[in-house]
Structure 1
Amino acid sequence: MPLGIVIRKVPGVTRWVSHVWQAVAVLPGAGNTAWKELRRDGETVEYHAATLPLELFRTDTEAYLHGLSAKVPAIYVVMRETSGAHPLEVVLATASPYEAQDYADTGEELVEKVPMPEGLIAWIRDFVELHHEDEVFIKRRRDKSRVDKQEDGIGDARIRQTSDVYRAPSSKEIVH
């Protein structure tokens, strides 16, 4: 599904930061555009920064369920700072909190959590209901054989005496 990403530019509150950029909304089914101004209120401006495909995968339904069960279900927008005409490049929009965490862990991208509209929640929930399969937990069983009873290969084979197998060999004791 095409998903428009709305980014808001607000004035900074310190003299070191002139503006702050933040992803604030998503537009399901949006047309393809880049950095179109949507709204202006004084120095605060909202842009339709990009339209990206929101892709859902059958193997990630557990992550989508986790995201939908949050107090406020969200779409995660991954952005990267650029030095070009626009300050941010929108890289990805995902419904998977696990994938968003992977991007956040690198520290190279900005990850914003944007509330999911009701229609998008229903669309993702329908996808999960259609494709989710619970995985049965199978506890791993330990092998019953005792391997600690035999001391095989202990110590250094180059040492002839058995008194201290852990000491380093001297040049006289090395077996040729």
Structure 2
Amino acid sequence: MRRTPGVTRWAKWAWKATGVLPGAAAADWRELRRDGDVTEFHAATRDVWLYVSDTEAYAHELGAACPSVYVVLRKPVDRTDVPFEVVQITMSPYEAQDYCDSAEEVVEKVAMPPALIGWVRDFVQAHHVEEPFVKRRRNKSRTDLKEDGIGDARISQTTDVYRAPRRSGQVSG
């Protein structure tokens, strides 16, 4: 995570996930380097899991111009000394999109390191099965022949089923 000075008076700092470190040791917001007001931290070490059911998403991500890893961040509930908690790291753009639907998480897109690209590519080649597209077919029942709920049942004629009934002695104009 990179911390830079905020650009507005309402935010003292701006935070951005800038990279992932494959094979890194455990860390909890360890400072890596400082250059003036800009500081980079190793926020957390998380395991990354690949699932056979998500190979389509991984293949989609590998086909992007710049394959990415998605870092899911959330404001911590029980800590005040850190700005974010690293909830998850995922290779699936579909899963990352699901996290974006909530206002509780922040999802950062980070360039996938070459070592991870090779690992994900090998996994996709070993487990991905292309599923053919099957167009959904409509059933043949005719729903346009029924007229349930049309008009008022108190009107006996079939010429104007949408007409409202009149009281006796009422003159139409």
Within 5 Å, give how 1:25-174 maps onto structure 2: 25-82=19-76, 84-148=80-144, 150-151=145-146, 153-155=148-150, 158-159=153-154, 161-162=156-157, 163-167=159-163
1:169, distance to aligned residue in structure 2 (A): 6.0
What letter matches 1:142 in structure 2? R
- Give 1:9's aligned residue: 3
Aligned mates of 1:18, 1:154 — CA distance in 2: 62
Q: Which moved more, 1:59-68 or 1:12-21?
A: 12-21
1:158–1:169 CA contact under 8 A, matched in 2? no
2:17–2:110 CA contact under 8 A, matched in 1? yes
What letter matches 2:62 in structure 1? L
Q: Does the residue aligned with 1:59 lie in a helix, a strand or coil?
A: helix
1:51, distance to aligned residue in structure 2 (A): 1.0
Number of positions where the alignment pairs a residue of Structure 1 with one of Structure 2: 165
Aligned mates of 1:132, 1:101 — CA distance in 2: 21
TM-score (norm 2): 0.83
What letter matches 1:48 in structure 2? H
Mark the runs of 5 or more structure 1 residues left unpaired by the alignment.
1-6
Change in 2 beyond 3 A, CA 1:142/1:91: same
Structure having the larger proportion of residues in strand: 1
Q: Does the residue aligned with 1:25 lie in a helix, a strand or coil?
A: coil
TM-score (norm 1): 0.81
Aligned mates of 2:101, 2:80 — CA distance in 1: 25
- Give 1:4's aligned residue: none
What letter matches 1:70 in structure 2? A
Aligned mates of 2:138, 2:108 — CA distance in 1: 44
1:30, distance to aligned residue in structure 2 (A): 1.6
2:152–2:162 CA contact under 8 A, matched in 1? no
Deviations 1:101-132 (A, max 9, x none): 12123233211111111110000011111111
Aligned mates of 1:14, 1:147 — CA distance in 2: 60
Q: Among the aligned pairs, what percent are the same residue?
A: 53
Provide the alpha-carbon RMSD of the alignment: 2.3
Mark the runs of 5 or more structure 2 residues left unpaired by the alignment.
169-173
- Give 2:171's aligned residue: none
Q: Does 1:24 align with 2:18?
A: yes
